[in-house]
Amino acid sequence: MVKVCRNTLARLGELVTCHGIVSTPVFLPVGSQGTVKTLAPEELKDIGVTIILGNAYHLYLRPGIDTIEQMGGLHRYIAWDGPILTDSGGYQIFSLARLRQVTDDGVLFRSHIDGSEHRLTPESVVELQEKLGADIIMALDECPAFSEGVSKVHEAVERTYRWAERCQKHHQSSEQLLFGIVQGGIFPELRHQSAAAITSLDFPAYAIGGLSLGEPKELTWAMVDETVPFLPQDKPRYLMGVGSPEDIVEGVSRGIDIFDSALPTRIARNGALFTMRGRQNIRKAIYKTKDEPVDTDCDCYACRTFSAAYLHHLFRCEELLAYRLATIHNLRFITRLMQGIKEAIQQDTFIDFKNDFLSGYQVTDEEVRLAQKRKWLSSPRYYDAAVP
């Protein structure tokens, strides 16, 4: 890492990949199926995105890993020349609980698309990601639901370690970084055990998995605080599945370097736009005649070009342009936030930055948030393999 801010764990660093150097802290937009929904690669670059996330599970089912390999690899296939991180499919083991069977050997599952049967193993997951040509690939892990008891979570911790060993042994490409994943649910002693075991394998970076699955936020941060001290200070730390603005700021303050989430793009398509005051619902009647941008401080294409009234109209009419403009705005808000965080760390003013941001940003009520999360997790769309 390059710099640690005074009186906090917030820090600056770099991820060195074959497709470029990424400065951290960084947020990865989710493009599970080879696209960040509604946006083209050049638009992502204009927004300030430097690295994106794909998903080996989804790409394995459609269009097929061999197809992508024949087309020159994932970068060429999706016309993105920057770094790509691919998830292993471990999250889908969690999200598709009704369609899979987990054993020590791997995971047997039925496709959510056509019901066909498939098997993933630690070795096959590494091979799939190597064929894709991603810059960063993830070890296969077992992600238990946060409501699982200690016995089940302990079993997942042990299995995740054994799978990590197998992934590491099978990993062949020196051009790809293989990250290990720490599990442990909401049990501090299991978080410690998993972190100690995974770090003993000496991966180039470590992810914290199994959080932001519907547990209260105070538990999320408690488990992050229990885990970070067990991770090497000189290697990147990746908090998987976390991406709301307030959570990014909190995560950075706790020593996290990398974030990813479908949240910014998913809520954009539902008309929720980030501002420094918190999320704003552009569908509300108050925006019908608002002749200024949604966020007057934002420099994104949507805010530079269109009024809030026009975006309100597009959403009310369900015009496709609405989803694209809202996605541009939300991702630009996140990239601007990351820029502000980095500048504050560089200037040793991150604590002031954090306090100022959180004092003005109205977060979603915790009960409402948990209810929305439960609704999302139980919805039919969620079982479409949790496509963001």
For the segment 273-304, what is each residue's pLDDT rounded down to a tens digit? Answer: 999 999 999 999 999 999 999 999 999 999 99
Mean pLDDT across the chain, nearest whole number?
94
C-beta of residue 39 within 8 angstroms of C-beta of residue 327 = yes
C-beta of residue 157 within 8 angstroms of C-beta of residue 150 = no
Average pLDDT over residues 270-274: 98
Task: Give the pLDDT band of residue 374 (cuts 50, 70, 90).
Answer: low
For residue range 298-335, what is the model confidence (pLDDT) as tens digits? 999 999 999 999 999 999 999 999 999 999 999 999 99
pTM of the model: 0.95
| pLDDT (0 to 100) of residue 383 | 41
With vertex at residue 70, the alpha carbon angle to CA 126 and CA 176, rounded to the nearest 5 degrees, is 35
DSSP state letters, 191-256: HHHHHHHHHTT--SSEEE-S-SSS--HHHHHHHHHHHGGGS-TTS-EEETT---HHHHHHHHHTT-
- Give the separation between CA 65 and CA 67, rounded to whole angstroms: 5
Average pLDDT over residues 48-61: 96
| pLDDT (0 to 100) of residue 378 | 60
Residue with tokens 């370690």: 161
Selecting among 87, 135, 257, 295, the annotated active-site residue is 87
Q: Hey, what's the torsion of the CAs at 130, 134, 137, 143, to 10 degrees?
A: -100
* % the chain with pLDDT above 70: 94
Concerning whether 87 is annotated as a catalytic residue, the answer is yes
Peptide bond into 236 cis (omega under 30): no
With vertex at residue 244, the alpha carbon angle to CA 346 and CA 14, rounded to the nearest 5 degrees, is 35
Contacts with 123 (C-beta within 8 Å, 6 or more apart), sequence order: 166, 167, 170
Crossing angle of helices 320-346/350-360, nearest 10°? 150
With vertex at residue 335, the alpha carbon angle to CA 330 and CA 336, rounded to the nearest 5 degrees, is 95
C-beta of residue 243 within 8 angstroms of C-beta of residue 333 = no
Selecting among 141, 247, 260, 295, the annotated active-site residue is 260
Cα within 13 Å of Cα(172), Cβ side = 11
C-beta of residue 160 within 8 angstroms of C-beta of residue 142 = yes
Concerning whether 46 is annotated as a catalytic residue, the answer is no
For residue range 98-140, what is the model confidence (pLDDT) as tens digits? 888 999 999 998 888 999 999 999 999 999 999 999 999 999 9
Task: Give the pLDDT band of residue 376 (cuts 50, 70, 90).
Answer: low
- Give the separation between CA 143 and CA 183, rounded to whole angstroms: 7
Question: Domains in the chain, start-ordered, CATH in brackets?
Answer: 3-262 (3.20.20.105), 268-367 (no CATH)
Average pLDDT over residues 53-73: 97
CA 367 to chain centre: 23
Q: Which of left, alpha, beta for 179 (phi over 0: left; psi -120 to 50: alpha)? A: beta
pLDDT over threshold 70, residue 377: no
Which residues lie across from 14 on neighbouring strands? 23
pLDDT over threshold 80, residue 148: yes
Q: Return the closest-CA partner of residue 160 out of 186, 188, 195.
A: 195
